[in-house]
A and B are shown apart, each in its own frame.
Chain A
Amino acid sequence: MSSNNGHGGHSRYSAWSLVRHGLTPKSGWPRAWREHDLESSYDAVIIGGGVHGLATAYYLARDHGMRKVAVLDKAYIGSGGSGRNTAILRSNYLTPEGVRFYDRSVKLYEHLAADLNYNVMFSQRGHLTLAHNDSSLRTMHWRTEVNKLQGVDSSVIGPDEIKKLVPYLDTSADTRYPILGALYHPPGGIVRHDAVVWGYARGADAHGVHIHQQTEVTGIDVSHGRVTGVQTNRGPISTPVVLNATAGWATLISDMAGVSMPVQTFPLQAAVTEPVRPFLDTVVVSGTLHVYVSQTDRGELVFGASVDPFASYSMRGSLEFTEGIAGHVLELMPALHRMKLLRQWAGLCDMTPDYSPIMGPTPVEGFYVDVGWGTYGFKAGPVSGEAMAATLASGKPPEIISAFGLDRFTDGRLVGEKGAAAVGH
């Protein structure tokens, strides 16, 4: 390892280091983060090495001075939802609680590359949610007003302006689902999701966090109503604080601590095409057609859909999805009829009854959850990490997530985000 130079035990990435490594044969980049032996006790154990778990560990170590923290992942970091989402960021939600929360996340993403000294390639290219009927247009106006009140840049634009932003979009009136308008959200965009995961892993590691891959939690020890440790395939760990930061396994992990979850797990499929020259520099979403499209910096088109129509833990792709997404994309952009799909995949989405996440303490003391992230977890990674770190350090959730507690399902204070959280609901 190189000497300490302001970023823990790591060498800093810079234009100069790029040139130096490029010109020096066999110089070798240092590892971005280190492997450690599994210790028998930690101050906090975070289950799930995705963006939520790693960001929580990073802020816990950096802002709250908690260094003896372990992040456990049963596979490798970023192998779950963090590597399977379509990397879209936005904050144009429907409820004031939701807008405030996701806006904080976008703000953190704006400075993330500098904070982490890791290029996450956040491209704020603008985000369009199309309205194909009067009721969606009404919801777009509603969201615009809520957004403006929270200081978030959103507006409703008409077909002419849409056509200027996305010339390939079929905005004519004689289509099956004519485009009547769109919610335009300039701060929205896409980011490189693997870089976010690795940036947080590197940052957490530099602050002393232990990241353990291939470490599957098989049980959670609870004694007299409080957490005492976790069992893993590599041995037991004693700890007073456990965070469930998994997506797809929210129920199964919480069950180990005896905490029931208002969650159902659905697969969500996505697909990517062969790369073509840049022609699409905004994110285009259609709720009516259950599709969202963006073009990566490499030129591939990334397509996402709504969740599969039934609950499942299977991540197999289906022909129905491929047929559906192709038809819907062509309805929007007929010029793409000769594009070829390269691959498709699925990720698991833990859906909650109100389409908002579940964050904070549980009836078991020391056992916290950051779950129920449905189809919107990746964009909330930084703010969730910041808020969950504060929760773990103090035992009390900060104001920004106080609306998202598990207890809202027993006293009926739901945060309904169905109209803005995902497509096709």
Chain B
Amino acid sequence: MMLLPCPWCGPRNATEFRYVGEAGPRPDPASTTPEEWRRYLFMHANPCGPVKETWYHRAGCRRYLAVERDTATNEVRSAVDSATGVAR
């Protein structure tokens, strides 16, 4: 079991969330090259250690969260609301 500290709902089991993936800026489709766009779509840093990622609290507040998690241990270091920056 892994707990995610949701800034709105408190610590909740990870099964309540949808894992969206690594966080990063989305290139502008109008001005980007196909190579850059495919790199954005397919390439991942996939580190073994701390990573910034996005989770969606589908069975809770239904907010997108910016989460910092260690992928080696699944320890969650922080979770804030992606849009408002609200932390617990």
Contacts and interface: CB of A to CB of B under 8 A. Distances in A.
A260 B43 contact: yes
Given A260-B39, A320-B15, 18 more contacts: A251-B44, A251-B46, A252-B48, A260-B43, A261-B44, A261-B46, A262-B44, A263-B46, A309-B18, A311-B71, A312-B71, A314-B71, A314-B73, A316-B74, A319-B1, A353-B42, A410-B38, A412-B34
Interface residues on B, range: 20 to 34
A233 to B, nearest CB: 17
Interface centre among A260, A311, A316 (most CB of B within 10 A): A311
A345 interface: no
B8 interface: no
16 contacts: A251-B44, A251-B46, A252-B48, A262-B44, A263-B44, A309-B18, A311-B19, A311-B21, A311-B46, A311-B71, A314-B72, A314-B74, A320-B13, A353-B41, A409-B38, A410-B35
B14 interface: yes
A312 B38 contact: no
Interface residues of A, number: 22
Interface of A: 251-252, 260-265, 309-314, 316, 318-320, 353, 409-410, 412
Contact of B71 (A263, A313, A316, A320): A313
Contacts, number: 58
Interface of B: 1-2, 13-15, 18-19, 21, 34-35, 38-39, 41-48, 53, 71-74
A408 to B, nearest CB: 10
Given A261-B44, A320-B1, A310 B72 contact: no
Contacts of B18: 309
B42 A409 contact: yes
